[in-house]
Amino acid sequence: APVSLLSRFRGALVASVVGDCVGGEFEGAEDVPLDRVLQHLSGLEDETRGDGILQYSDDTAMLRCVAQSLLTRMGFDEQDMARSFAKEYSLAPGRGYGAGVVQVLRKLASPQLSDVFQPARAQFGGRGSFGNGGAMRAAPFALAFRNIADVRRYARFGAMLTHSCSLGYNGAVLQALAVHLSMQGDLALPQKFISKLISEMEEVEKDETARSDAKVLNLAEFPYCARLHRVKELMEQNSVSIEEVISELGNGIAALESVPTAIFCVLHCLEPREGLSEHYGGLERTIAYSLALGGDTDTIACMAGAIAGAHYGISAIPQSWLKSCEGAVEAEHLAERLYKLYNDR
């Protein structure tokens, strides 16, 4: 049956939270054997474990702030979103935030602050953060705006509240665009999906700042486009090892080392894959595969989850997984409210 748009909305936010919660187990691990991943995931089916035992981290905490702010302001309001991040951090500082971003979040709490983008610009000697913290929370922008130009524009500004390096905010743009295309059903034609993302990012990375940041950081020109071309090449290969994915695309906390990786996870898992449970559907495969890459597992699974959830819809997420994850039910409600906002536009 075709997946309804409402189901895609719910799928996107719930699978994002699920990815964060189940990925926390392996965050920062070098080597994660597939057996351990499958064991961890089958443990969620144990009814006796109780509800909501896997806690969400900064990824979900900030994604909830983005969704809430877009809803209450009925669009993007940088002051409100900044305040929402600061308040969330002050109430629950122990969610595993990146080492640098906590300085921004503390400054954003100051009532005297007039330019809410300023604290982010002061990070890392004025270069700004290129971490994946902007990208991990970008999915709601694709659910709040119909127009692709708006998705691009507001995902960028939303990320710039904490990530002022172009590598940081362009990762958020890429993630939001991937969710946007997935919601339109574009993953039905995977080659076309990746080609569209490449042409979108060619426009985005033409920008002067993006060009000079790439140079300063010793990266090739058009760094996101280059990674997406590698994704395309890996898709065309008959078999791909985990080691190859890590060395070609990365699994780290930099947005460049994780957003294209998350996109690859979704594309790779559109088909059954050796080593992944035969009774798994595509969404389960995507989450499991994301964890098996190791590194920044909660964030890669959170981003891949959002893209996959927008494709497969809410019914692809096992009830036992949903029930095991803190904040999954709230994410479903946020998605329903965003759906209303989207339809009223």
Query: What residues make contact with ligand 8NA under the rule CB under 6 A?
Result: 27-28, 57-59, 96, 98-101, 124, 127, 129-133, 136, 165, 253, 296, 298-299
Q: 325 pairs with which residues across the strands?
A: 54
**Looking at beta carbons only, is 58 or 332 nearer to Mg ion?**
58
Considering only the stretches 107-115, 145-153, 191-199, 299-307, report the one whose residues sit in contact with Mg ion under the rule CB under 5 A. Answer: 299-307
DSSP 219: P
How many residues sit in the footprint of Mg ion (CB under 5 A)? 7
Residue 101 touches which of Mg ion, ligand 8NA, none (Cβ within 5-8 Å per kind): ligand 8NA
Nearest-approach distance from CB 24 to Mg ion, in angstroms: 7
Nearest-approach distance from CB 127 to ligand 8NA, in angstroms: 4
Can you tell me the distance from the alpha carbon of 15 to that of 84, in angstroms, rounded to the nearest whole number? 22
Can you tell me the distance from the alpha carbon of 198 to that of 90, in angstroms, rounded to the nearest whole number? 38
**Looking at beta carbons only, is 284 or 298 nearer to ligand 8NA?**
298
Nearest-approach distance from CB 274 to ligand 8NA, in angstroms: 27
Q: Is 299 in the site for Mg ion (CB under 5 A)?
A: yes
Q: Is 298 in the site for Mg ion (CB under 5 A)?
A: yes
**Looking at beta carbons only, is 133 or 313 nearer to ligand 8NA?**
133
DSSP 280-330: --HHHHHHHHHHHT-SSHHHHHHHHHHHHHHHH-GGGS-HHHHHHBTTHHH
**Looking at beta carbons only, is 98 or 313 nearer to Mg ion?**
98
Cite the DSSP H helix spans in the chain: 5-23, 34-42, 58-72, 78-91, 101-108, 118-121, 139-144, 148-160, 166-183, 190-205, 208-216, 223-236, 242-249, 259-268, 282-292, 297-312, 319-324, 328-344
Can you tell me the distance from the alpha carbon of 58 to that of 98, in angstroms, rounded to the nearest whole number? 8
**Looking at beta carbons only, is 129 or 324 nearer to ligand 8NA?**
129
Among 75, 96, 185, 281, binds Mg ion (CB under 5 A): 96
**Looking at beta carbons only, is 88 or 296 nearer to Mg ion?**
296
Q: Which parts of 24-63 interact with Mg ion (CB under 5 A)?
A: 57-59
Nearest-approach distance from CB 249 to Mg ion, in angstroms: 16
Nearest-approach distance from CB 342 to Mg ion, in angstroms: 27
DSSP 53: -
Q: Is 257 in the site for Mg ion (CB under 5 A)?
A: no
Considering only the stretches 34-42, 46-54, 78-86, 292-300, report the one whose residues sit in contact with Mg ion under the rule CB under 5 A. Answer: 292-300
Q: Which residues lie closer than 8 Å to 179 by C-beta, 6 or more apart?
A: 12, 138, 139, 142, 143, 306, 307, 310
Nearest-approach distance from CB 29 to ligand 8NA, in angstroms: 9
Burial class (CB in 10 A: 0-12, 13-18, 19+), 274: exposed
Nearest-approach distance from CB 101 to ligand 8NA, in angstroms: 4
Can you tell me the distance from the alpha carbon of 40 to that of 291, in angstroms, rounded to the nearest whole number? 10
Report the alpha-carbon angle 149-150-153, nearest 5.
Answer: 85
Residues lying near Mg ion in the complex (CB under 5 A): 57-59, 96, 296, 298-299
